[in-house]
A and B are shown apart, each in its own frame.
Chain A
Amino acid sequence: MFILIVGAGRVGAAVAKSALADGHEVSVLDQDALSHERLDAGQSKSWEDAQGQFTVGAALEVDALIGAGIERADVFIASTGGDNTNLIIAQIAQKRFGVEKVIVRVIDPARAAWYGEQGLHTISPTKHAIEMFERALETELA
């Protein structure tokens, strides 16, 4: 599988590393060249030596997406720091480039829920955190 991950923050970089370790082809796009350091951190080989790809560019720039390989991506992961950026680029990946599997990080649970209903695979870390807190609270109070 060829996996394109846009946004190499804590989440994006960690998912990129584990996908690469699982034997997938992984390309990462981030507008900050320094975010590359997260891909190398804690690894025995550099990201490139481990056959990972890294492109510096803005998520909304079609040229950057193409440079990062979106045209042959099987999976697209939108994990930049901005919910709206993620939701827009996910739809670009889906509608313009026909990427079959699109996964989007959306911090805001309400937006995640609605776009989920519209057919995007959204993941809301906040929603998960809320649920875990509620469960923890129940356990503490039991």
Chain B
Amino acid sequence: MYAIIVGAGKVGRNLAQELMVKGHEVTLIESSRSRYLAIEEEFEYSAQYGDATELWVLERAGVQRADLVVAVTGDDEDNMLVCQVAKEKYLCDRIIARVNNPRNRDHFRLLGIQPAVSATDLILRLIEHEVPRYGLVHLLALEEERLEIIELEVTPDAPTVGQRVVDITLPEGSLIISVLRDGTGFVPKADTTIEVGDEVLLVLDTGLEEAITSYFAPYGQLA
């Protein structure tokens, strides 16, 4: 695979290294002269100096044959522009953009720049995972499909405790896909009974989290 990475900060540099170790071809573009000189020694011909929002700089890097363009500069407008041009002008199949300010997330979506990765959101997600509020953990969000997979730990006050899966009527657009009990996971059958302490994995339409929480962990769970 040939990847162009725009922005040689900590993220861009480490990403380039990782991809090269995995045997991929990489070009790392940096617009700051001093930063470029610092990476040139390490990356040699894989580093290029220039402003990747200038079309000729992207072309010089071979954007036409790139399988992936990743924009990870510290400037959201630059990241959006690089990705938009890569995708729409040079028809690059895969783009990934870094969101610096989570408030700009909507702008990335509006311009069709997906996936857009925000470190703030990732850390928040991790905090949610480490410190589950109401026992709900977001495992995966499929934004395009408007689906997500969540995990809930069943609390003693849950109305579903002791009920068979077949008897539980969940809201439209949600489905139990797996149950973790005593460290082992299994796909529930119709006659599986929900127990206190079960970790239930569900796939659901976005926006159903609260409704679903009331089935398995109604009053929340103190972490």
- Chain A positions within 8 Å of B, measured between CB atoms, are 60-62, 82-85, 87-88, 91-92, 95-96, 108, 110-111, 114, 118
- Chain B positions within 8 Å of A, measured between CB atoms, are 53-56, 75-78, 80-81, 85, 88-89, 101, 103-104, 106-107, 110-111
Q: A84-B53, A110-B54 are in contact. Are A91 and B88 (CB under 8 A)?
A: no
Give bound CA distance, A83 to B104, whole Å: 17
- Which residues on B sit within 8 Å (CB–CB) of A118? 88
Q: A82-B77, A84-B77, A84-B81 are in contact. Are A114 and B106 (CB under 8 A)?
A: no
A-B CB proximity, top 8 nearest: A84-B77, A84-B81, A110-B55, A85-B77, A88-B77, A84-B78, A88-B80, A84-B53
- Which residues on B sit within 8 Å (CB–CB) of A111? 53-55, 85
- Which residues on B sit within 8 Å (CB–CB) of A108? 53-54
Majority SS of interface residues in chain A?
Answer: helix
CB distance from A3 to the nearest CB of B (A): 23
Give bound CA distance, A108 to B111, whole Å: 21
- Which residues on B sit within 8 Å (CB–CB) of A84? 53, 75, 77-78, 80-81
- Which residues on A sit within 8 Å (CB–CB) of B77? 60, 82, 84-85, 87-88
- Which residues on A sit within 8 Å (CB–CB) of B107? 60, 88, 92
CB distance from A79 to the nearest CB of B (A): 15
CB distance from A31 to the nearest CB of B (A): 13
Please tell me which one of the listed residues B56, B76, B81, B111 contacts residue A60 in the complex, with CB atoms under 8 A apart: B76
- Which residues on A sit within 8 Å (CB–CB) of B78? 84
In the bound complex, do residue A114 and residue B53 qualify as a contact, i.e. CB atoms below 8 Å apart? no
Please tell me which one of the listed residues B55, B56, B75, B110 contacts residue A95 in the complex, with CB atoms under 8 A apart: B110
Give bound CA distance, A110 to B60, whole Å: 14
Residue of B nearest to A86 (CB): B77
- Which residues on B sit within 8 Å (CB–CB) of A83? 53
Residue of A nearest to B104 (CB): A60
Give bound CA distance, A118 to B56, whole Å: 18
